[in-house]
Structure 1
């Protein structure tokens, strides 16, 4: 019995992926739920597991190839006799290669375009002859079409022929991962689309530090799997501010504004493949312990590269904490289509004036980047002041005042 292994549904608004690497070889026995191939999407890496124990057939797509949802990846041969035979002998590598189809050139000798690229070219009235393919065997990928459109809309005027850059022998050229290319494209898109501004304030962390010191041990003991940190205070304060200034939790959709009566808080965390932003769903309904526990779980899964697509989708606002890397001040970039992002920074003891006296206090700079198309400057400034007041007086978070 043959079982087809296809590209699964990849999540919200994701229709294509890149085959990052094959984890199994043709003729190899694969156990149930064992990963066969790793796919890299715009947001996260996904492993495709085997639905049954069987013997893997030919690799029908190559590493680096772009595939769409439903694409046939390989075929699994099921049955005791097949498995027993595979365990007693290995399939030659040459036979496996011969079984793989060659799809670099179509029947009319024109370059092959991947499904997502072909769809985009049809929508934009582009022919395959106009786009240079960078995929395996010269295949045209969706990124190739996007790059072609960017060059068409923003032509670079050159005084002479373009000379290919010669690499220095002391340099190393490494192809960008799909995730890194997507991050770069989305950040540039945010700069070009939104009327992005950043406003700053500073907050005295004394009250939160004292409260954390006083209750940290009891909190950690009662809520196993959680550790009382600063992020839960900022999430709570930000939720309160978003409820007071709903435009910062909204987004522009064409000529409409979508206001949300809930808060899905994106928390930026570092992973082996770069920065990812998993989402605290319904953060406005979560307790301090739930927030801290979920953030710890996100950090662990980001480091082990096991975050799911559902963890990264649906955010309405984001928080990034450059302070853990020592950043004193920054201007965070919007996570489109969100309208705001809060930047936290390092806590530094500085002299400040309090009641006419110069005292040393642990201070943190806060930054709010926002889309000025939907958020007015007064709202943005008031939003940061709202957070500042609740961090400096954390009892207001508990009393909801």
Structure 2
């Protein structure tokens, strides 16, 4: 009995030391409250492009899942956070056109109308260059959904990141196209929560700058800032000083981009928070590995400070993050975990330790080195 007790004690101490070592070895984890998978097993092989929203009934998350991205069996799945855990994912939309034709679904985006319905935007089509925008609504926090509706011809809805609501009641959907005209950013605006829409484009400036998938931030001086994924090895930005009616030409920021999706949110304290892969592709390549997955914070949207590393394994990929801040002030992230599962991380933004990002390089910390990533990702 004594030997068994000693063995258990030694094991406990070993595990404890391992936990302490893990925390000391990853200093970029301050402020994290919850780190969990939304599900462990699913009836499909791959998943991607998660989104999250807070509803009066609680958190709701969505993503697309199927055999593989672009496969016709890819559907939209939804899970709700109830009684301290996530419900089993439910298939709420598919791309069946008729008895002989089926397309994959893409990039769901959730938006909770204040004192109204939960909207689920998504795309259906063989590929991003010719997909179409659709939506469903829920009156009970994602338990049941309306019939599928198509957005007006030429409108796609929010392409990856959440819409934002202006003080004047205008809902702006950050969106983009990838068709014959190349990568182009535009914004779709609605004054009646999606019943009718208008559109505004980012004017063409430097023709070498190509961007998609913007996310919108609010600034204290009234301006809007949109941060975008690009093919230019850097996050691109555009600004609006008239509530999104017009935008400035795209320009480079001082943050790298690996040609993968990002997301951002304006916090209640006025700071800007960005989640992205802080990865500069090697050489002249436009695409880089989708790890690590980083979080940065800024007061002005220009000078950024390193805050968190959500994932740093050399095993890619950790990508396509979405972020919101809930009424209690906590920040919620959801993202793709190796295309196998969807991760949910909760952070207290007041506990973040910030270090300035200089010359576009993530700050070095004594005793900690990011794992080396070998090879380039082939992910879309």
TM-score w.r.t. the length of structure 1 is 0.26
Whose Rg is larger? 1
Instruction: Pick the structure with more helix per residue.
Output: 1
TM-score w.r.t. the length of structure 2 is 0.27
